[in-house]
Amino acid sequence: MTREELREKLWGPTFVDFEEGLNTAVRKLRDALGDSASNPRFIETLPRRGYRFIAPVQADVAATTPVSKPPPNRTRIYVAAGFVTLALATTVWFNRPSRGWTSTPPTQITRDSGLTTDPAISQDGTLVAYASDRSDHSNLDIWLQHLSGGEARRLTDDPGDDSEPDISPDGGQIAFRSERAGGGIYTVPTLGGPLSLIVKNGFVPRFSPDGKQLAYAVGSFGSGAFAGQLRIKNLASGAVVEVADGLMAAGPVGWSPDGKHLAFIGRKDIPDRHDLWICSVDGGPATRLADLPHPPNPHQYVQFGVVRTSAVAWHHDQLILSLKEGDSTNLWTARISPDARRLVESVTRLTLGSGSEVLPAVSNTGRMIFANHSHSVNIWETSLDSNGVAGPIRRLTGDRALNYRPTVSRDGTVMTFISDRGGNFDVWKKDLLTGKESPVTRTLTPEIFGTLSQNGAEVATWDGQIVSVVSMTDGASRPFCEKCGRPDVWTADGRLILSPGNQRGVWIRSPNGKQGTMIATPREFAKTGPDLSHDGRWLTLHTTSTVGRLTSKRQIFVAPFSGGPIPEESWIPVTDGEALDREPKWSVDDTQIFFLSDRDGFRCIFARKLDRATKRPLGELFPVLHLHSPGQSLMLVPNTGNVSIVPVANKLIFSMGELTSNLWLTEMRQRQ
């Protein structure tokens, strides 16, 4: 049945949030049937169309029954009846709990229009701490709220973001991440008072059950999410121990009740998938507990992953975490063995609410709090004044989908971008003169990257494995190359410059894709994110000092380009390599480099002027556009390369994410 048929049959003329209601109904029907969106046995999603019942159906009609008219289509009746039943129950909390535990219907405890997130709960279940921009939407502060009632109190007030709180076991202190003074972990009394710096550069703090130790990570927010090395600090002696060596944690850990183990979401390398891991607080190798649901192609993961951090909560013998499967992001749980070495049952969905249920935290009493995120990405533009500084920003797309990676033809009339508004990630185009938008591709495999040719006639697409070239007029597609990297930029004669290739360098390929040459060799540094000057004579890119691992430093270079390999000595540094500067783009007149930078503690757009002839830097780099709001940020775009700054005449076009959130409370209860 198509989505339109379902809407007409179930809701008719009644005004409802159709998309959210139908998605929730389908999730509940699948859960009742024990079905999976990623590997369906009963209900299959047809992208941009609707749903199909795929299980075998047998009609049982007695031979002696008179037949006066053809029997009805039972498949259609059963499916429609199932959808009707679940549509009526969309406001009813329904879950399929793990064998030993269930949860009560959740209650919303904050009702903010902006971003209220990163919840923590005291061990006795009476206090909740969280980060919120409710004061003026310009930054996150730490707030404390009594669940018994009363007004929430703001504990911090600083221009820098304060986030990721955790309440000490005795309820007297809150540890949190702050961006003030270069960033680190601070503590503040729950009754209010002076702040204390505990760990410089630390993220995601979590107190041990006895309050004597603090687990945290040292890392950075990379391509849309966090990654860091786990450490444990003894709060009395100050001694620090590194744990889970060789793994990057994606967020806060869950301490075992006895304080001997840490459970966390993590991965070994950037292209790897996130999985559930456990490690001893005494060190030694970590153990993978579960392979989590995610797309089969690891390159696609960053398009579907979280935009902040991934938390694990540990309650008695239950691990609780947030997972996205199919079109649903909910809380899941699994029982862990007494020795904390393995899971004794599979990961099972615990909640079935709409939205994106993330960041669970649970008290000793079983009270559990979590955030419900609403995330979207859209394309924006801003005009530049005579000094190259941006003015107000305005939307070029405006829906609740993920719209990112804009590219524009050289004449400035056509823009392409990636969007999941049709149910699958496809390439869309927008006529910048008329405003009309329409899809370019309609594939079952997600297209996660696209680059428009200079003349606007073709777009190069990438699904994480295969690069294809698609006609902008009739959608005809031809294969270009496989496992050759992402298509970053076209040359005027139809060649493609790609990164990262199999050897993590930058390559150029012939118009048919068959012949390739590495033009920027990795050597000591990985090279990626290339862009070609408008006159075709210069190339810019950024390097990273650690191949395959997140680092807080990148450096931008330019070099003369003639179509072949570029000697190492030809690269001219544009930035000093001491900050996170990346994804450079040439200005229209080739006299400036625009780039993304985290050097002021946020992800903003900076630039540096170049000598017109030699391309050597002139003067200091300068900020073009500051974007410091936590709920409206370039950090909310999955994969930094998808921000895709595009200079067009006296404007910049780019993608930016938006995030709103509130907190919900439920109770974990052991089944009798």
Question: Residues 286, 152: one domain?
Answer: yes
> Of 386 and 190, which is predicted with more confidence?
190
Question: Are both 508 and 476 inside the same structural domain?
Answer: no
Q: With 80 as the cut, is the pLDDT of residue 197 above it?
A: yes
In this structure, are residues 656 and 377 in contact, taking their beta carbons and an 8 Å threshold? yes
Q: Is residue 488 part of a domain?
A: no
Evaluate if residue 26 carries a pLDDT over 60. yes
C-alpha–C-alpha distance, residues 486 and 497, integer Å: 9
Say if 593 falls within a structural domain.
Answer: yes
For residues 145 and 222, membership in a common domain is answered with yes
Last residue of a domain, one of 31, 56, 88: 88
Instruction: Tell whether 371 and 403 lie within a shared domain.
Output: no
Helix (H) or strand (E) holding 175: strand 173-178
- At 550, the pLDDT band (50, 70, 90 cuts) reads low
User: What local confidence, expressed as pLDDT, does residue 84 receive?
Assistant: 29
pLDDT at residue 377 in the model: 94
Inform me whether the pLDDT recorded for 11 exceeds 60: no
Are 552 and 517 found together in one domain?
Answer: yes
So what's the pLDDT on residue 155?
97
The tokens describing 587, both together, are 């200005």
- What was the pLDDT predicted at 87? 32
Whether 655 is covered by a domain: the verdict is no
Residue 647 and residue 633: Cα distance in Å, rounded?
Answer: 19
CA nearest neighbour of 369 among 153, 167, 606: 167
Mean pLDDT of 37-65: 57
| pLDDT (tens digit per residue) in 279-297 | 999 988 899 987 665 554 4
Looking at this protein, which amino acid is placed at residue 137? H
What does pLDDT average to over the chain?
84
Q: Of 327, 373, 328, 365, which is closest to residue 350 (Cα–Cα)? A: 328
**Residues 346 and 398 grouped into a single domain:** no
Q: Region 118-134: what's the mean pLDDT? A: 97
In a domain, 50, yes or no: yes
**Pick from 585, 578, 527: nearest CA to 552:** 578
My answer on whether 506 and 591 are in the same domain is: yes
Quick one: 607 and 593 in the same domain?
A: yes
Instruction: Please state, in angstroms and rounded to a whole number, the distance separating the CA atoms of residues 441 and 422.
Output: 11
Same domain, 74 and 119: no
Q: Return the half-sphere exposure (C-beta side, CA atoms, 13 A cut-off) of residue 594.
A: 26
- The answer to whether position 653 is within a domain reads no
CA separation for the pair 279, 287 (Å, rounded): 6
- Residue 16: band (very low, low, confident or very high) from pLDDT cuts 50, 70, 90: very low
Residue 650 in domain: no
- CA 534 → CA 423, 568, 612, 616, distances in Å? 35, 22, 13, 17
Predicted structure pTM score: 0.81
Q: Is 209 helix (H, G, I), strand (E, B) or coil?
A: coil
User: Considering the chain, what percentage of its residues have pLDDT values greater than 70?
Assistant: 80
- Domain span holding position 451: 378-483
Q: Tens of pLDDT along 340-386?
A: 989 998 888 888 887 789 999 999 999 999 999 999 999 999 999 98
Tell whether 493 is covered by a domain.
no
644 within a domain of the structure (yes/no): no
Residue 89, token pair as written in the block? 């129950």
How many structural domains are present in the chain?
4
Phi-psi region of 640 (alpha: psi -120 to 50; beta: other; left: phi over 0): alpha
User: Quick one: pLDDT band at residue 224, thresholds 50, 70, 90?
Assistant: low
* Cα–Cα dist 227/225, whole Å: 7
| pLDDT, tens digit, 9 for 90 and up, residues 422-431 | 888 999 999 9
CATH code of the domain in which 580 resides: 2.130.10.10
The reported pLDDT for the residue numbered 8 is 60
Spatial separation of the C-alpha atoms in residues 647 and 593, rounded to whole Å:
10
Q: How many CA atoms lie within 13 A of 401 on its CB side?
A: 18
Please, where are the H alpha helices in 254-347?
Answer: 301-304
Last residue of a domain, one of 88, 119, 145: 88
Q: Are residues 407 and 354 in the same domain?
A: no
Chain length of the chain: 672
Q: Which residue has the higher pLDDT, 403 or 88?
A: 403
| pLDDT, tens digit (0-9, with 9 covering 90-100), for 570-627 | 999 999 998 889 999 999 999 999 999 988 888 999 999 999 999 999 999 999 999 9
Q: Domain ends where: 88, 120, 143?
A: 88
Residue type, 218: V
Q: Are residues 77 and 138 in the same domain?
A: no
* pLDDT over 70 at 515, yes or no: yes
**pLDDT range class, residue 646, cuts 50, 70, 90:** very high
Region 18-42: mean pLDDT is 61
What CATH number should be reported for the domain holding residue 111?
Answer: 2.120.10.30
Ranges 333-337, 344-348, 407-411: which has the least confidence: 344-348
In what helix (H) or strand (E) does residue 538 lie, and over which residues does it extend?
A: strand 538-544
Position 464 scores a pLDDT of 87
Same domain flag for 149 and 132:
yes
| pLDDT in the model for residue 61 | 37
CB of 621 within 8 A of CB of 607?
yes
Beta strands of 238-364 (E only): which ranges?
A: 240-242, 248-249, 254-255, 261-267, 275-280, 287-291, 312-315, 318-325, 328-335, 348-349, 356-362
